Amino acid sequence: MRVDAFAIRLRRRAKMEAADLGVRLCQASARSVFSCYLLVAAPVMLLALASFELAYWAPMLVLWWTKPWLDRTVLFVLARAAFGQKTTTRDLWAGQRDVWWRQLITTLTLRRLSPWRSLTQPVYQLEGLSWWKLRKRSAQIRLGYRNTGLLITSAFSIAEMMLCFALMSLVLWFIPGDARLDLTWMFTEDDSSHRMSVAYYAAYAVVVAFLEPFYVAAGFALYLNRRVELEAWDVEQELRRAFAH
C-alpha cells in the first residue's frame, strides 16, 4: 500500500477525533457514497417493507439483518475516497464480486452480531488476509479500541431510534387542531395498528439509508487511526512526501 497516496493527512488522533474524521470523509464524498449505497439499499428496503405481508415484524428483521452486507458498499466507496478516488456505480458493478458476494455467509451471521463491526469490517473486506489470519488481525485492531467501537455502535443505534421517533412525530404536526389523537392503535391488532407499523418501518428504512454510511465511515476512520498507531503510517507518509520533492 502506498501510504503517500492517501488524500487525507494521517496522524495519531484521539479516538473520537478519528471517528469525526470519518464523518467528514463521508460528507466530502457524499455523492459517491449515497449514489452507490442507495443503488443497493433501495431494493433491499423495498423488499423488506413488502415482507410485511408475511409477518408484521419481518421488515424490521430484514432491515436490521442486512445492514452489514449493505455496509460493504459504503466501505468500498470510502476506501477509494481515502485515496482521493471518486466511485461511480460502474466501478461498484465492476467490483461486485468482492464487495457483495465475498464472505457473504459470515457477513450475515457471525459478524452481524459484532458490537464493533464498523471497526473490524475493514480488516475482513480490505486487507485480503487468509482466513486463518483474519481472527488474529481483528483482535489486534480491536486492542485498545474495543470500547470506542462499542460506543460508536451504541451512539448510532440511539441516534437511529431518536430519528425514527422524530419522523413518526411529524404525524402530530399535521393533525388538524380540532382533531383528537387516538393512541389506542398501539394496544390493538387492527388495521390501523398495522398501518402505523408499516409507517414506522418506512421511517426506519429512511433513517438507515441516511445514517448508516456515517456509521461505517466513523468505524473506518477509527480503523485507519489504529493502523497509524501500529505501523507509523503518519511518519511514512511525511517521509515519502518529503523525498518526493
pTM for the whole thing?
0.87
pLDDT of residue 12: 85
pLDDT of residue 131: 77
Domain ranges of the chain: 3-147+213-240
Q: What is the rounded CA–CA span in Å between residue 133 and residue 147?
A: 23
Low-confidence ranges of the chain (pLDDT < 50): 186-187, 192, 239, 242
pLDDT of residue 194: 60
Q: Which three cell numbers stand for residue 120?
A: 473490524
pLDDT of residue 69: 94
Q: Helices (DSSP H) in the chain: which residue ranges?
A: 15-28, 30-50, 58-65, 67-81, 89-94, 96, 104-108, 117-126, 131-142, 146-174, 191-231, 233-244
Q: What is the rounded CA–CA span in Å between residue 233 and residue 242?
A: 14
pLDDT of residue 6: 75
- Determine how many CB atoms are found less than 10 A away from the CB of residue 183: 8
pLDDT of residue 73: 96
At 4-32, the pLDDT tens digits run 667 788 888 899 999 999 999 999 999 99
pLDDT of residue 10: 80
- Determine how many CB atoms are found less than 10 A away from the CB of residue 4: 16
Q: What is the rounded CA–CA span in Å between residue 58 and residue 178?
A: 36
pLDDT of residue 245: 52
pLDDT of residue 75: 96
Backbone torsion region of residue 102, taken as left when φ is above 0, otherwise alpha when ψ lies between -120 and 50, otherwise beta: beta
